[in-house]
Amino acid sequence: GKIFEKLGICGDLSLLRILLDGIPPWRDSKLLIKDLKVDEVPLRIYQPKWPPTGKRRGILYFHGGAGTFGSIRAFERICRYMAKKCNSVVVSVGYRLAPEHPYPGQYIDCLNATLYFMRNLEEYHVDPALIIISGDSCGANFATVICQILLNKRDLPKVRAQVLFYPGLQGLDFHLPSYQQNASVPMLFRKLVIYFCFRYLNKEPSILEDVLQNRHVPESMKQKYKKWISADIIPDEFKIRGYVPPKSTSYKPKVHEAIKEILGITFSPLTAEDSIICQLPESYIVTCEFDVLRDDGLLYKKRLEDNGIQVTWYHSESGFHGILAFFGYGIFSFLSGKKIMDSAVNYINSL
């Protein structure tokens, strides 16, 4: 991608979008699939063709891709699978991508799509008591934030559950055990996490190394959020694979000023106050052992449980970040990805 960019052929993000856009699956005779736009945001709605015996579940799905790539088409197989296996109406949201559509526009797109769906449940024969908000990677971050925002929307149905596949939920500590252990594990290297943060926020990555060393976080903030974001909270069994407690690093105000957006509650919903966390819906969280973001999910699981929220947790011992991007591709799929999806389906069907 960098070579193509220097040659003037295309940018690295353009190449990445092409490569990861997925191969369209065959038509599915069991599903009614409808495309529409809401406030310029593309939606694809999947409904089982067989007549409903009652009102169905409604599942909103926000795809991954660091807010800069990914598409409805790339995650088509996941949404089709959930629609059929859960006898549900699934709404896949094609939020507009950064940096062309600046941050935090992705959250606004996801929120507008959610509001549209929740205000038109009758049209889709969806039970207002069975709304599920889901996503993978950055899409799981969007789902988390949307659930927090909806707490103030008293005129709308209450969300029944949030379903989060390997979520990224904080930008304060890039030295958690999973960031060390999986720094060079495909598909998401530790440096790539920061690089995509910069691309997402349309910033120059000249201070990438400083952010990797957590020099963007003021000491006062480190102390304030230590009770929620710290390696000390991670269970010991997740530290045995080569974790070394990091040495303290000096704070650099210029670095903080350049990238302070990643410390805000929108980018880092793990920093929400307990008064918000305690109101959130029941949750299903997937973590993968070989994933730099693994510990974000573990920390969020503990925060929810500490606030009395019921959590169903699935940990894939052999899974890696982005594994669901291969789901449904036959010999190119991974058994661990199939197990993750079947576990999620079983959870949704239990609601």
Active-site residue list: 137, 291, 321
Q: Are 188 and 228 in contact (CB under 8 A)?
A: no
Q: Where are the beta strands (DSSP E) in 144-226?
A: 161-165
3-class SS of residue 173: coil
* H/E stretch holding 101: none
Backbone angles phi, psi at 131, to 5 degrees: -95, 125
Distance CA 122, CA 4 (A): 49
* H/E stretch holding 91: strand 88-93
Instruction: Give the sheet arrangement for strand 88-93, strand by strand.
Output: 31-38, 41-48, 88-93, 56-62, 126-136, 161-165, 282-290, 311-320
Q: What is the DSSP string of 225-271?
A: HTTTS-GGGS-GGGSTTT--PPPP----HHHHHHHGGGGSTTT-GGG
Q: Are 126 and 74 in contact (CB under 8 A)?
A: no
Q: Tell how strand 311-320 and strand 161-165 pair up.
A: unpaired
Instruction: Provide CB contacts within 8 A for 315, sequence distance 6+.
Output: 286, 287, 288, 289
Which one-letter amino acid corresponds to residue 83?
Answer: A
Q: Where are the beta strands (DSSP E) in 137-186?
A: 161-165
Tokens for 63, please give them: 């795809």
Distance CA 275, CA 151 (A): 11
Q: Are 325 and 74 in contact (CB under 8 A)?
A: yes
Phi-psi region of 330 (alpha: psi -120 to 50; beta: other; left: phi over 0): left
